[in-house]
């Protein structure tokens, strides 16, 4: 018999892929159970309902986002702007491996923000945390003179996340990384010359 934590992890991993592909409304619990070979009782042992499951999938997704932020932004041997861009390039590589399905946060935010305050607040909080961490690195770039002294790192970080999400949607629509790459090139060229 498989340990409970392994069952839960298997459900979360499969749920992430299924939420990316199908969205929340088209995610069937039975399809998830069938895909993972999990009995219904095991699902409800770990999750209250579909909403609780999706919220926990977001938490799992954010663990990976924070790991990427840690790996990229924490390398003080690399200039701060390159560290920030490196995080987005790493994310673009994840998108490539997943078939350009885009960002789970962006997808769920678009699908659910108008109908669920719980999801709207959760997704917005995740975006705000990503922007907060990027702003710290952009502040370091400002202090080093890599971006103009009058730059506002918090606004710049928020704009970067907003632009990335738009480019991620376009990348999903086209099935190509081109919108992501073009956006990064434009943003970082503009940031250094503002």
Measured distance CA(57)–CA(164) in Å, rounded: 21
Residue 100 has what pLDDT? 87
Q: What pLDDT does 193 receive?
A: 76
Does the reported pTM lie above 0.95?
A: no
DSSP secondary structure, 151-193, as one string: --HHHHHHHHHHHHHHHHHHHHHHTSSHHHHHHHHHHHHHHHH
Q: Given this model, what pLDDT does residue 72 score?
A: 97
- CB atoms inside a 10 Å sphere around CB 70: 12
Write out the DSSP string of 75-128: -TTS-HHHHHHHHHHHHHHHHHHTTS---HHHHHHHHHTTT-HHHHHHHHHHHH
* CB within 8 Å of 130: residues ≥ 6 apart: 65, 69, 161
Token readout for 194 is 């503002």
- pLDDT for the residue numbered 4: 72
**What residues does each domain of the chain span?**
49-193
pLDDT (tens digit per residue) in 147-170: 999 999 999 999 999 999 999 999
Looking at residue 194, its pLDDT comes to 57
CATH class of the region 49-193: mainly alpha
Report residues of the chain scoring pLDDT below 70. 1-2, 194
The pLDDT value given to residue 3: 73
How far apart, in whole angstroms, are the C-alpha atoms of residue 71 and residue 50? 32
Q: How far apart are CA 108 and CA 19, in angstroms?
A: 8
């Amino acid at each position: 018999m498989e340990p409970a934590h392994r069952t839960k992890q298997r459900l979360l991993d499969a749920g992430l892929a299924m939420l990316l592909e199908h969205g929340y409304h088209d995610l069937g619990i039975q399809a998830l159970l069938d895909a993972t070979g999990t009995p219904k009782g095991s699902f409800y042992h770990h999750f209250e309902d579909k909403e609780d499951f999706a919220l926990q999938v977001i938490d799992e997704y954010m663990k990976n986002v924070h790991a990427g932020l840690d790996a990229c932004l924490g390398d003080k041997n690399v200039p701060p702007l390159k560290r920030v861009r490196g995080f987005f390039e790493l994310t673009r590589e994840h998108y490539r491996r997943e078939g350009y399905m885009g960002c789970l946060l962006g997808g769920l935010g678009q699908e659910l923000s108008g109908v669920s305050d719980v999801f709207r607040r959760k997704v917005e909080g995740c975006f705000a945390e990503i922007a907060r961490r990027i702003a710290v690195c952009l502040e370091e770039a400002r202090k080093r003179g890599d971006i103009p002294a009058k730059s506002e790192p918090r606004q710049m970080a928020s704009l970067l996340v907003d632009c990335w999400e738009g480019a991620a949607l376009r990348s999903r629509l086209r099935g190509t990384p081109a919108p992501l790459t073009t956006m990064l090139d434009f943003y970082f060229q503009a940031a250094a010359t503002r």
